Structure 1
Amino acid sequence: MIMHAEHETDRPILAAITGERRTLLMDAGNSPAHAELFRRELKRRGVRLPEIMALTHWHWDHTFGMQAWGIPAAAHEETARALSLLRELDWSDGCLLSLISDGIISEESATDIRKEFGSGRDIRITEPDIRFRDRIEFDLGGVVCELVHVGGDHSADSCILHVREDRVLFLGDALGPSVYGGPRKYTSAAFLKLLSTAYGYNAHWIVESHGVPMSGEEFRRDLEGWGELAQVVERFGHDRERVIREMKDFLKSDQLPKDLLQGLDYFMAGLEPV
């Protein structure tokens, strides 16, 4: 069962995967309030409550609800390291400004944190109980979930969660651009590697944390232009006009859609300086 993303305060998708013996929670939510909303929905629908949690990466919107669950959490070792560095912060306005200045969070994230937690921010960082480096499996009883580290531009600790029997692939934010420490950007080679990894699972359903679940076929169609854009940038680098011409030829169109124009800016920002 999933709870869909809400964009007002950047709440990502949460998922509960249930087997015969236990339930796994994918990501904690961006606050105790977000976590409680999902818990109430699970109870209302008669879904067994989670006994273990898997984190896709350390970013606040996926982890700041951890304190509300009180269950063991599994995460990549870099996710654990990043969260440990946040434990002693007071999350005051001054603290948020310092985090923005240091490139640890963005102004957008700070704005969403203020909206989600209000002025009296009781934010308690919880560190994962189980840490792994490459991958870890969870046997829920007839259902096996595999949490795999894939990295990428969005966050170096990004992981994906594959539910084998259901052939569902949760991508977290792995395919997103970098959002902290500078302008939003994509590295074409890293993007193409992640896209190939996602395609390789041949999943029936693919879920990105701030998007709408798609069938595998819908996902491929939706990402076709982005994959081509990344390949063209790989070939022509900083030659923006050539990239645009090649993409227009590929799309058989006189202009690029707005999302691909924005994507082009991200890929250009990700190129090595000349």
Structure 2
Amino acid sequence: MDTPGPRRLAGRVWIVPGDPDPENIRGSVAVVADDSGSVVVDAGQSPAHAREIQSAIRAAGLPPARWLVYTHHHWDHVWGACAWPDVEIVGHVSGQEILRREAARPWSHRYLRDEVRANPRLGPSFRARALAMQGWDDFTILPPGRTFTDELTLPTGVRLRHVGGAHAPDSTVALVPDSKVALLGDCFYPPPAHLRAPDDGPDLAMVRDLLSDDYEWYVDSHGEPTTLEQARRLVST
């Protein structure tokens, strides 16, 4: 599918929508525009997706990317990184070694099929990867080149905060104070499907801790942006 153009959410934060079809596992990507170079939050789920996002950014007249932030190491957030030119990749330190191990795996359509045969619970994720990837010749998984442990503020004023959680140990939120936007990635989601127990659900306690009068918008990667008022209603039920 063609990636829709970015829409401005608030201030200098733009959202490139994902695909609502859950089988495609293509989340939204945020762009924090800055004259010194934009901060892109998450890389897209494939090199082709990343190139579509880049075209959308150019068409919207936004500054080219200078920083690429990983909210966490899962494939649909990082597999597009190898198609982003001239960016500094930033992520939590605990994701760096995970991605080094992922980069060493012999990725191919055959490998995906073999892994699903060995563990059928991988089926939804690995079938989505096969659909996303047009080829493997120039594909590589890139760990973050710049890491942090607790918090990091980029030169553009974007604040990165490690929150961890059941979904991924390196889950990071990206905060844009001047635009009053909090980009949550998948931090409060339950574990990935192949690791999920029947009683696993969203971590609403984490969401409650993240809510603040300082931020008017909360954006996760696979849902629509939520206002502070809407988020408070959701976590109070």
The alignment's TM-score, normalised by the length of structure 1, stands at: 0.73
Q: Quick check: 1:155 aligned with 2:171?
A: no
Once the 2 structures are TM-superposed, how far is the Cα of residue 4 of structure 1 from its aligned partner?
0.8
Amino acid at match of 1:126: L
Contact kept? 1:206, 1:214, Cα under 8 Å: yes
Once the 2 structures are TM-superposed, how far is the Cα of residue 106 of structure 1 from its aligned partner?
2.9
Partner of 1:29: 44
Amino acid at match of 1:203: Y
SS at match of 1:154: coil
The alignment covers a number of residue pairs equal to 219
State how far apart, in whole Å, the 2-side matches of 1:112 and 1:27 are: 17
- Structure 1 or 2, whichever has the larger Rg, is 1
Once the 2 structures are TM-superposed, how far is the Cα of residue 175 of structure 1 from its aligned partner?
1.1
Once the 2 structures are TM-superposed, how far is the Cα of residue 222 of structure 1 from its aligned partner?
2.8
User: Residue 153 and residue 76 in structure 1: after superposition, are their counterparts in 2 closer, same or farther (change >3 A)?
Assistant: same
Which deviations, in whole Å up to 9, do the C-alpha atoms of 1:88-144 show, x marking residues without a partner? 2222345335655888x83211010011114x434311121101111111121xxx1
Contact kept? 1:150, 1:157, Cα under 8 Å: yes
Q: Quick check: 1:41 aligned with 2:56?
A: yes
Partner of 1:138: 154
Which deviations, in whole Å up to 9, do the C-alpha atoms of 1:177-234 show, x marking residues without a partner? 101553356668x924412322136411110100001111112223332xxxxxxxxx
Contact kept? 2:180, 2:216, Cα under 8 Å: yes
State how far apart, in whole Å, the 1-side matches of 2:143 and 2:207 are: 30
Report which of the two has the higher share of helix: 1
Once the 2 structures are TM-superposed, how far is the Cα of residue 11 of structure 1 from its aligned partner?
1.1
Contact kept? 2:122, 2:194, Cα under 8 Å: yes
Once the 2 structures are TM-superposed, how far is the Cα of residue 81 of structure 1 from its aligned partner?
1.2
Q: Quick check: 1:215 aligned with 2:227?
A: yes
Contact kept? 1:12, 1:29, Cα under 8 Å: yes
SS at match of 1:15: strand
Partner of 2:25: 10
Q: Please, which of 88, 109, 125 is the counterpart of residue 109 of structure 1?
A: 125
Contact kept? 1:102, 1:181, Cα under 8 Å: no
Amino acid at match of 2:84: W
Amino acid at match of 2:55: R
Contact kept? 1:168, 1:203, Cα under 8 Å: yes
State how far apart, in whole Å, the 2-side matches of 1:172 and 1:54 are: 11
State how far apart, in whole Å, the 1-side matches of 2:148 and 2:142 are: 17
Unaligned runs of 5+ in 2: 1-13
Contact kept? 2:35, 2:63, Cα under 8 Å: no
Once the 2 structures are TM-superposed, how far is the Cα of residue 60 of structure 1 from its aligned partner?
0.3
Identity %: 26
User: Residue 222 and residue 101 in structure 1: after superposition, are their counterparts in 2 closer, same or farther (change >3 A)?
Assistant: farther
Amino acid at match of 1:25: V
Which deviations, in whole Å up to 9, do the C-alpha atoms of 1:213-261 show, x marking residues without a partner? 1111112223332xxxxxxxxxxxxxxxxxxxxxxxxxxxxxxxxxxxx
Unaligned runs of 5+ in 1: 226-274
State how far apart, in whole Å, the 2-side matches of 1:131 and 1:81 are: 11
Q: Quick check: 1:176 aligned with 2:189?
A: yes
Q: Quick check: 1:64 aligned with 2:64?
A: no
State how far apart, in whole Å, the 1-side matches of 2:71 and 2:162 are: 9
User: Residue 186 and residue 177 in structure 1: after superposition, are their counterparts in 2 closer, same or farther (change >3 A)?
Assistant: farther
State how far apart, in whole Å, the 1-side matches of 2:53 and 2:109 are: 28
